[in-house]
């Protein structure tokens, strides 16, 4: 049951995806083109699609068809027959007291509709990922501003993957609980009695949510980086707005405020000064030049203060 989609295999796939992401990131920073089929997010969806397919296969083949869609009488008969074959019929009373779902029809029905929500989550996450990939495919490599935007979208893609990843691991946990309810751990695992089988399924259930919590922590960390970067841009924009009250400065100034040379800063300020002037006589040009010099000196002083602060 879910042999090749267990938390261990998914964790190993995650390590491979991390290595692929580092390779793609270094290649892009170096200005090298890499085929889009090597982009790690596509392989992440392929891995989760395989995991989701394995979960659905195990849910229907090992659980639903075996137990008659969790029908109470058929489940009790299957559990009793399994315990007799294991020479463990004394554990039937324990199973009936702790793991029988006969008295929980709503819980049984609610758990049976979880595959629908898992497939819907996959479709929604894939759609939003496709929207970001369309934007990324138009970007050219090499420009620092473009690379910054690419990194922001890349972080958003890792955050979008969280509902699908956690949903897949949660559905695996549901299958493990179904296994306890019908005393079945699949053909890949054989145990001599009900107690050992139950302990294995409980440990597998915990491992699924441990792995889901690990990726959730990572996604929250990436979300924090994304929010801090956005706030930094907004703060830089608000600071520059005080220097340019008529119009926001170009995005290149906001993102590279501390890296511009004085000559570039003066040229941008001159551009803003001439942009709002429709007078082309000598006196106006002289006034604009004086304003340009004063603004350039003020901007350089404020920039130095920001760097030190």
Q: Say if CB 226 and CB 123 are below 8 A apart.
A: no
Mean pLDDT of 11-36: 83
Judge whether residue 295 has pLDDT over 60: no
> Is the pTM value of this prediction over 0.85?
no
Measured between alpha carbons, how far is 130 from 140 in angstroms, rounded to an integer? 18
Q: Where are the alpha helices (DSSP H) in 244-308?
A: 251-255, 262-275, 282-308
pLDDT tens, position by position, 162-172: 999 999 999 99
pLDDT at 140: 60
280: Cβ contacts below 8 Å, ≥ 6 apart: none
pLDDT at 127 over 70: yes
Domain boundaries, the chain: 3-237, 258-308
The H-or-E segment that residue 68 falls in is none
Phi/psi of residue 69, nearest 5 degrees: 60, 45
CA distance 58 to 1: 6
Summarize pLDDT for 199-241 with one digit per residue, the tens. 999 999 999 999 999 999 999 999 998 888 888 877 776 655 5
- The 3 state secondary structure assigned to 96-110 is HHHCCCCCCHHHHHH
**Does residue 119 carry a pLDDT above 90?**
yes
pLDDT at 134 over 90: no
The answer to whether 145 touches 251, Cβ cutoff 8 Å, is: yes
The tokens for 238 are 């608000």
Residue 150, pLDDT score: 83
Instruction: Please give the share of the chain, as a percent, with pLDDT higher than 70.
Output: 71
More confident residue, 160 or 282: 160
Average pLDDT over every residue of 276-280: 39
């Amino acid at each position: 049951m879910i042999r090749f989609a267990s938390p261990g295999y998914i964790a190993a796939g995650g390590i491979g995806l991390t290595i692929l992401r580092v390779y793609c990131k270094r290649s892009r920073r170096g200005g090298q083109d890499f085929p889009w089929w090597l982009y790690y997010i596509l392989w992440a969806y392929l891995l989760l699609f395989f995991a989701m397919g394995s979960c659905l296969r195990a849910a229907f083949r090992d659980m639903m068809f075996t137990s008659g869609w969790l029908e109470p009488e058929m489940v009790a008969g299957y559990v009793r027959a399994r315990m007799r074959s294991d020479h463990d019929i004394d554990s039937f009373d324990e199973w009936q007291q702790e793991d029988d779902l006969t008295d929980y029809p709503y819980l049984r029905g609610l758990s049976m509709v979880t595959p629908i929500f898992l497939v819907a989550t996959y479709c929604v996450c894939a759609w939003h990922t496709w929207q970001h990939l369309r934007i990324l495919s138009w970007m050219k490599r090499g420009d620092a501003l473009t690379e910054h935007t690419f990194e922001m979208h890349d972080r958003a893609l890792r955050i979008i993957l969280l509902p699908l990843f956690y949903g897949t691991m949660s559905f695996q946990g549901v299958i493990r609980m179904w296994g306890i309810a019908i005393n079945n751990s699949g053909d890949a695992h054989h145990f001599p009695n009900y107690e050992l089988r139950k302990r294995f399924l409980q440990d597998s259930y915990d491992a699924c949510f441990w792995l889901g919590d690990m990726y959730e922590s990572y996604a929250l960390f990436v979300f924090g980086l994304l929010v801090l970067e956005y706030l930094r841009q907004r703060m830089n924009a608000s600071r520059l707005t005080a220097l340019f009250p008529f119009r926001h400065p170009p995005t290149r100034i906001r993102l590279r405020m501390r890296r511009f040379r004085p000559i570039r800063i003066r040229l941008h300020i001159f551009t803003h000064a001439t942009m709002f002037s429709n007078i082309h006589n000598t006196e106006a040009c002289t006034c604009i030049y004086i304003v340009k010099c004063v603004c350039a000196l003020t901007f350089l002083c404020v920039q130095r203060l920001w760097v030190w602060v």
